[in-house]
Amino acid sequence: MVPAPAPGPRAVLVGPPGSGKSTVAQLLARRWGLAHRDTDADVEATAGKPVAEIFVDDGEPAFRALERDAVTTALAQHRGVLSLGGGAVLDASVQDALWAYAEGGGEVVFLDVTLAHAAPRVGFNRSRPLLLGNPRAQWQALMTARRPVYERLATRTVLTDARTPAQVADDVVRLLEAAAPDQHPTPQEQQ
């Protein structure tokens, strides 16, 4: 088992809807004998309702505030594998927290995916409030805005196209276990 940086999760997975963050995080946690934590689930637990209802009832700013709190709390407290909601990285406080985590030896893994492979995974259904209307165009617009942030924050990137979650998890394990603990690149070193 690979030890977690102190303090913080063993790995943080970021990426767009359909990249497989939650599923891959669960597989990694199981493989490493650690707990998995998903910040969308934390937000739902805090609000007492699903993410889609938070958007409808309270609005996106309220959701983003809950999400920011969930991410910063999890980065400080969780020692397992953490998966973030797709838009969490857009918040400046979350970016700062992820930078600090990475600079402390943490791994931020960007699970990349193209629209052609995300579409069947996401299904573009009602449970994803930011994809209402024309879901393919919405997903593409989200990815255009978010990709530079994902790439800037990531210490590692894994393409998930045409790969099973188990194959993606294997790739993440190989990347993280091949790196010596003192040689994890920070986001700044990747630029």
Tokens standing for residue 150: 């994902």
DSSP 181: G
Tokens standing for residue 124: 């573009």
* Ranges 59-73, 106-120, 135-149, 170-184, most confident: 59-73
Min mean pLDDT across 29-38, 50-59, 104-113, 176-185 is at: 176-185
Nearest to 87 by CA among 27, 138, 159: 138
- How far is C-alpha 182 from the chain's CA centre? 23
- pLDDT for 122 equals 59
Q: What are the percentages of helix, strand and coil residues in the chain, rounded to 5? A: 60, 10, 30
Nearest to 177 by CA among 110, 109, 129: 109
Residue 8: C-alpha distances to residues 59, 103, 122, 140, 168 (Å):
30, 11, 29, 32, 22
More confident of the two residues 141 and 186: 141
pTM of the predicted model as reported, rounded to 2 decimal places: 0.84
**pLDDT tens for residues 86-130?**
899 999 999 999 999 999 999 999 999 877 666 655 554 445 454
- pLDDT for 184 equals 46
**DSSP E strand stretches across the chain:** 11-14, 36-38, 81-83, 108-112, 156-159
Q: Which domains does the chain have, with CATH numbers?
A: 11-190 (3.40.50.300)
